[in-house]
Amino acid sequence: MTHDSAGNGAPRDEAAAPEPRVEQSTETPLEQDADGPQQATWRVGRARNVRLDRWLGARVPWMSRTALQRLIQETAVTVNGRTPKASTRLNPGDEVTIVLPPPPVRTLPAQEIPLDILFEDEHLLIVNKQTDLIVHPARSHQSGTLINGLAWHFQQAGDGALSSVGEEHARPGVVHRLDRFTSGVMVVAKHDTAHWRLGRQFEERRTRKRYLALVHGDVEPLADVIDLPLGKHPTIRERQAVRWDDTGKAAVTLYRVRERYGDFTLVELELRTGRTHQIRVHLAHLGWPIAGDDMYGGRHLHVRDVLPAGSGGDRLQVILNRQALHATLLGFTHPMTNEPVEFIAPMPGDLADLIGLLRHRGPCDCPKVAGAELDLDAAI
């Protein structure tokens, strides 16, 4: 890579340079965070003096060179942390980061899956994702995902939301993700420009996200900042863990107690980062696992766990069999109008009913905590 005359390492446009041959990529993207925008980072290997757009074309085969140039123009690509041009030349050791739309879903079936659509315009869609729904298709789940349901929704709506993106980009543009058993609000982009602009807001942490979680135990103090680095669990593949070694990534969660029921606590959570399983691991590490989250020490709940003896009914009846975590609020700048927007997703019935039981059972303490923002009457 060439540097400017000040020697600051900024990539420089060299449109007149000869065009070397670009071979099909065998490089593997560096590890990326799984709980944020679709982002990949590569370290340039043997390529020398290669245009950025051509180099990316060998690594993102589902996008045309023109589409990649638009992506670069939208500042969704950086080279060594700086904003490049499509004609920027790459050399060994350069680090290229790109915020990507997901691959096309032409080969994935559209499926009629009930979706709770909170808002929709010609640019984006807001959905209140139900529990037990995977967002992105994977090798083991090519159907029954949110993307399959969105494909059906756009086909049936008849508004051309998918086809207007073009054949190459015929996909619902999911910008971020929620765990399979986490419910709540998500934004979906309906064309590439909206996708890239929203993805940049998530990448730069310019969105506002608030969650509600029901946890085991009596949380003290009433508010705090959890600043603990997270990374892959050293022995259990599916799990994350607090890591103090060089594999840990900075992770910050703010919590505020909203209601206390003695053996359970309802907390409002604000994310400053978006690591995989961040809320679940942070709360469990402090001794307050999320109810129902058996991966991180929570317990599935039966009637006997909530109501006292003599309350009647089947005390072995399961009332919660997934983590009691709900993405309640999402705020961002509209990608096309630049106006601030905010959306609230009401809790699904299983969590709302459980909180109703705890309130009715008592005790129920509702402390006033500075910075708490969610209207529980609207959310539950």
Number of other CB atoms surrounding residue 266 within 10 Å? 23
What is d(CA 356, CA 361) in angstroms, rounded to the nearest whole number?
9
Residue 205: burial class (beta carbons within 10 Å; 0-12, 13-18, 19+): middle
Which residue is it, tokens 């009332």? 319
3-state secondary structure 313-353: CCCCCEEECCCCEEEEEEEEECCCCCCEEEEECCCCHHHHH
Amino acid identity of residue 144, one-letter, is: G
Angle 175-84-187 from CA coordinates, rounded to 5°: 10
Active-site residue (options: 35, 53, 94, 179): 179
- Per the annotation, the verdict on 305 as an active-site residue is no
Residue 5 neighbours by CB under 8 Å, 6+ apart: none
Distance, CA of 181 to chain centre: 13
Of 218, 123, 103, which Cα lies nearest the Cα of 170? 103
Q: Residue 334 to residues 115, 272, 330: CA-CA distances in angstroms?
A: 22, 20, 12
Number of other CB atoms surrounding residue 92 within 10 Å? 11
Buried b (16+ CB within 10 A) or exposed e, 107-140: ebebeebebeebebeebbbbbbbbbebbbebeee
Give the ranges where 51-190 is alpha helix by DSSP (H): 52-57, 65-73, 146-157
Residue 19 neighbours by CB under 8 Å, 6+ apart: 50, 51, 54
Number of other CB atoms surrounding residue 31 within 10 Å? 12
117 in Cβ contact with 153 (< 8 Å): yes
What is d(CA 89, CA 13) in angstroms, rounded to the nearest whole number?
7
Query: Reduced to 3 states, what is the DSSP secondary structure of residue 211?
Result: strand
Catalytic residue numbers read 179
